[in-house]
Amino acid sequence: MGNPRIHIKRTKYIIMEEKTMSKKAIPIILAFIMALAILPTVPASAAGNNPWTGKWEASAMNNLTLWQDGEKVIGIEYSNSRQYLYEGTISGNILTGTTKASGDKFAKDFGTFVFTISADGKSMSGNVKGGGQSLDRQFTKTIDYSEVSVNYTPVGAISWTGYWYIDMITTNQNAKSWEPMFILQNGDKVTGYNANVGEFAGIISGNVINATVGKADKMVLTMSLDGMSFTSEFYMSDGRPSRANAKSGGRLSPITYVPAELNASDWAKPELEKAQSYELIPDSLKDADLSKNITRAEFAGVCVKLYENLSGKAAAAASNNPFTDTGSADVLKAYNTGLMVGVSADRFEPNTLLNREQAATALTRVLKKCYIDGWSFAADGSYTLNFTQPAKFADDDKISDWAKPSVYFMAANGIIAGTGSNMFSPRAVTTAEQAANYASATREQALVIAVRMIDKLKDKPLDYTETDTTSTPATAALTMEKIKQTAKGLSYDTVDFIGFNSSSGVPDPKDGVSINKNSATCLSVLEFTDAAQAKKYTDYVNGLKAQYPDTYAKYGYFSYEKFYFQIEDVNSSAGKDVLTALVPNWNSLITGGKNNV
């Protein structure tokens, strides 16, 4: 099953009714069926309260079956030995359109028609013109198919819904012929029609249908594992094979799938059904309540699925797990692909919730990863997306500065629209909001954003500006030894520590020192091979701050020459006199912190 999965919410097919069918007509019908299988489908709607969908009968003709798709109607008529395809548009209670005849394989217009439906929807009258004739018609609806729809009961991955052909071998003659068959699956129930046996209805058990039919008491169909063929048996009431005993058959229309019932908010379901067809829902969220808040591990799965869809590449998990708090395959794929990083060198915090501005920023990074050569998580700050700035949200002042480019990029492209009253609800600010998980991103919100990104941005070039933010002094004035001596001269203790293995794509420091006073760390300094490496590490910390603003609010940090400096509490004077002695303009370089110092 290497083909992309196709899922259609409410697949509408025309049910073909016939009293007689010549063998010559079969190839024409098959051609019609295969053409019909690729028609776009939309939810059915009615003209007033009287849907056109159904089987209609009239004198001087066999059957006319119509199926309504929004304002459009398609249908098939069997008249004597010829078939006619109807295509029309609804206006009020009137249907107008054109007919095509089977003689030209439905390739050319044959005539026109105008039908008017009655107030109760049980009859319609009209006129059909074509072939030099003008015929008045009066129809009565004998079967109403308007209530038939696909119900997503998880009875199996592959749906029976669609058009099939049957290889017929009759008991009266050793002759072979093809018959078309239509099946519509509704949960674990099916209804269908075959020209030879008529209408049938049955129950699905696994990949087997047991059904009762019009011309035989029992029909058993067994689908193949790939969903492309079946074997079948038809029996009469006394157990003898039916005259229409079919031995095998195949699928003519594309495969559709039966996903599990979505446990989600009504507003999100249409796009979540797209998420199912795009294969965006990770295993961790299948059968889950999608209205609940999303964790970092679950979000990693969404990022991976979005990356694979946009890039066309499979994400591979890291061979060595750097995290001590999770073994999630989705997390290791997101980490190894450079889509997400840990909160530290060995911790990912898989169960921590994300807020809305974090989700928007992280999904924007997935887009950059797919469409900007050279982009990496560590160098994210060097790439600025160019777009027309939309109107600000009413709570713009609550959106973190680091998140605004991504939030407004998404808004400018119609991917996010806020939570109502022009509010974005980016994050929890007050203690009460934090306790209530206010502004936490939900699973369905993350998936809907991913769907819209595919619909609106897939395979489209990104307009961006790359900025070289590296500033390397001609002569490095600082050394690790000078830093230690300065700290000791100001009555600070220094503790050497060795650099650690950081996240994928992030440089490792070659040396480090903790500057302490009264047994408390005031300032940490990491030394890298050059200024570019130090800047890259600072960009990495900026990414962590974007995901954990509350955690990093107490830190002030910056890069200077080949060193990374981090003040443990920017509201404390501890460590600042050391910085002032080492980097006189440090106050203009610092990033983050509660007051930005």
**pLDDT (tens digit, 9 = 90+) per residue, 483-528?**
888 887 777 788 887 555 555 668 888 888 888 877 778 888 998 8
CA–CA dist 334, 448 (Å, integer)? 19
pLDDT at 413: 95
SS3 68: strand
Query: Letter for the amino acid at 368?
Result: K
Rounded mean pLDDT of 529-552? 82
| φ and ψ of 485, to 5 deg | -65, -40
Q: Identify the residue whose tokens are 């099916």.
A: 190
pLDDT at 409 over 50: yes
Q: For residue 4, name the pLDDT band (cuts at 50, 70, 90).
A: very low
Q: What does the H/E/C string look like for 543-588? A: HHHHHCHHHHCCCEEEEECCEEEEECCCCCCCCHHHHHHHCCCHHH
**Confidence label for 12 from pLDDT (cuts 50, 70 and 90):** very low
CA angle 591, 594, 597 (to 5 degrees): 55
Written as one letter, the residue type at 29 is I
How high is the pLDDT of residue 163?
A: 73
- Residue 257 confidence (pLDDT): 67
pLDDT at 23: 37
* pLDDT for the residue 109: 75
Contact 119, 50 (CB under 8 A): yes
* Start-to-end CA span in the chain (Å): 58
How high is the pLDDT of residue 315?
A: 93
| Packing angle of the helix pair 296-311, 329-337 (nearest 10 deg) | 50
Q: Round to whole Å and give the CA distance between 105 and 158.
A: 31
The pLDDT-based confidence of 70 (bands split at 50, 70, 90) is low
Q: Looking at per-residue confidence, does 257 or 215 come out higher?
A: 257
In the predicted model, is pLDDT for residue 417 greater than 90?
no
pLDDT exceeds 50 at position 21? no
How far apart are alpha carbons 26 and 163 in whole angstroms?
14
**Stronger pLDDT, 88 or 54, i.e. the higher one:** 88
pLDDT (tens digit per residue) in 345-354: 788 899 999 8
Residue 244 DSSP one-character state: T
The token duo for 4 is 């992309």
Mean of the per-residue pLDDT values of the chain:
76
Q: What is the pLDDT of residue 69?
A: 61
Residue 83 is predicted with a pLDDT of 62
Averaged over 53-72, what is the pLDDT? 69
**Residue 447 binned pLDDT confidence (cut-offs 50, 70, 90):** very high
Residue with tokens 């259609």: 8
* pLDDT of amino acid 260: 61
The reported pLDDT for the residue numbered 186 is: 74
Is the pLDDT assigned to residue 382 strictly greater than 70?
yes
At 96 the pLDDT is 93
| Average pLDDT for 81-104 | 77
* pLDDT per residue as tens digits for the range 307-342: 999 999 999 999 999 899 999 999 999 999 999 988
Is 115's pLDDT higher than 70? yes
**Residue 117: what are its φ and ψ, rounded to 5°?**
-90, 145
For residue 395, give the nearest of 368, 365, 363, 355 by alpha carbon: 355
Mean pLDDT throughout 189-218?
77
CA pair distance 152, 185, nearest whole angstrom = 9
pLDDT at 2: 34
CATH topology for 149-260 is: Porin (2.40.160)
What is the model's pLDDT at position 29? 38
pLDDT above 90 for 36: no
370 or 103, greater pLDDT: 370
pLDDT digits (tens, 9 = 90+) for 234-254: 777 777 776 556 578 888 766
pLDDT higher than threshold 70 for residue 561: yes
Task: Please name every residue paired with 176 in a beta bridge, in sequence order, or none if there are none.
Answer: 169
- How crowded is residue 282: how many other Cβ atoms within 10 Å of its Cβ? 23
Per-residue CA distances from 532 to 185, 384, 424, 555 (Å)? 61, 19, 36, 22
pLDDT of the residue at 144: 66
pLDDT value at position 77?
A: 72
177 or 349, which is more confident: 349
Query: In the structure, what pLDDT confidence band is assigned to residue 40 with cuts at 50, 70 and 90?
Result: very low
Instruction: Say how many residues make up the chain.
Output: 597
Domain boundaries, the chain: 149-260, 266-466, 480-589
Least confident of 61-70, 135-144, 290-299, 427-436: 61-70
Match 């394989």 to its residue by tokens: 105
- Give the whole-angstrom CA distance, residue 57 versus residue 182: 19
Cα separation, 480 vs 561, whole angstroms? 12
Q: What is the mean pLDDT of residues 268-282?
A: 89
Q: What is the mean pLDDT of residues 277-303?
A: 92
What's the confidence (pLDDT) of residue 148? 39
Average the pLDDT over 160-186 and give the result.
Answer: 64
DSSP letters spanning 317-381 = PPSS---SS---HHHHHHHHHTS---SSSS---TT-B-BHHHHHHHHHHHHHHHHSTT--STTGG
450-486 per-position pLDDT tens digit: 999 999 999 998 999 988 655 444 444 688 888 888 8
Q: What is the pLDDT of residue 380?
A: 84
Between the CA of residue 531 and those of 528, 536, 544, what are the distances in Å? 7, 9, 20
- Separation CA 125–CA 116 (nearest Å): 5
pLDDT category, 196, cuts 50, 70, 90?
A: low
